[in-house]
Amino acid sequence: MSLALTAAPPSSEIFVFTDAPAKDAHLKSTITAIIESTKSVVTFMLTDVLTSRRRRRNTQRVSPRKMTQLDAQLYRDLARASGGQAIEVTKSDLTLATSVIEDSLANAVVTVFQVVRNPGRPDNFTFIVDGSLRNLTAYITGASSLTFDFTSPTGVSQSSSQSSGPLATITTAGNLRRLSLNTDNQTGSWEISVNSKNPYSVKVISQSSVNFIYNLVEAHERAHGDFSLKEGRPLSGGNASLMISVTGSDKVKVTEVTLFDSSGPTEVDGSLQAVCREW
Both 32 and 55 in one domain: the answer is yes
* Domain assignment present for 24: yes
Residue 166 counted as domain residue: yes
CA angle (125, 127, 128) in 5-degree steps: 155
Domain boundary, last residue among 175, 192, 207:
207
Integer CA distances (angstroms), 35 to 12, 30, 43, 82, in order:
10, 9, 12, 6
> What's the sign of the alpha-carbon dihedral 100, 137, 124, 175?
negative
- Domain identity same for 234 and 154: no
Query: Do 113 and 80 share a domain, yes or no?
Result: no
Q: Is residue 121 part of a domain?
A: yes
Residue 274 is assigned to a structural domain of this protein: no
Residues 146 and 224 in one domain: no
Query: Do 194 and 232 fall within a single domain?
Result: no
* DSSP code string of 194-209: EE-SS-EEEEEEEE-S
Listed in sequence order, the DSSP H helices in 23-142 are 28-38, 69-82, 94-97, 99-104
25-39, 82-96, 176-190, 258-272, range with the lowest pLDDT: 258-272
Find the domain containing 253 and state its range. Answer: 211-268
Q: Based on the fold, state whether residues 245 and 162 are members of the same structural domain.
A: no
Residue 57 binned pLDDT confidence (cut-offs 50, 70, 90): very low
Helix, strand or coil, per DSSP, at residue 86: strand
Domain assignment present for residue 91? The answer is: no
One domain for residues 215 and 201: no
Examine the domain organization and report whether 218 and 137 are in the same domain. no
Confidence of residue 62 (pLDDT cuts 50, 70, 90): very low
C-alpha triplet 90, 93, 97: angle, nearest 5°: 105
Q: How many domains does one find in the chain?
A: 3
Residue whose C-alpha is closest to residue 65's, from 75, 76, 73, 55: 55
Last residue of a domain, which of 157, 182, 207? Answer: 207
What are the residues whose beta carbons fall under 8 Å from the beta carbon of 168, sequence distance 6 or more?
Answer: 138, 150, 158, 179, 180, 181, 182
Question: Helix, strand, or coil here: 239?
Answer: coil
Instruction: Confirm whether 99 is domain-assigned.
Output: no
Spatial neighbors of 79 by CB under 8 A, at least 6 apart, are 42, 43, 44, 85, 86
- Final residue of a structural domain among 180, 207, 234: 207
Q: How far apart are CA 149 and CA 162, in angstroms?
A: 10
90 lies in some domain = no
Q: What angle do CA 233, 236, 238 make, to 5 degrees?
A: 100
pLDDT at 113 over 80: yes
**Tens digits of residue pLDDT in 115-142:** 999 889 999 999 999 888 999 999 999 9
Note the pTM of the prediction, 2 decimals.
0.83
Task: Kindly state whether residues 189 and 257 are assigned to the same domain.
Answer: no
CATH of the domain at 199: 2.60.120.1540
Per-residue pLDDT of 151-196, as tens digits, reads 999 999 999 999 999 999 999 999 999 999 988 878 999 999 999 9
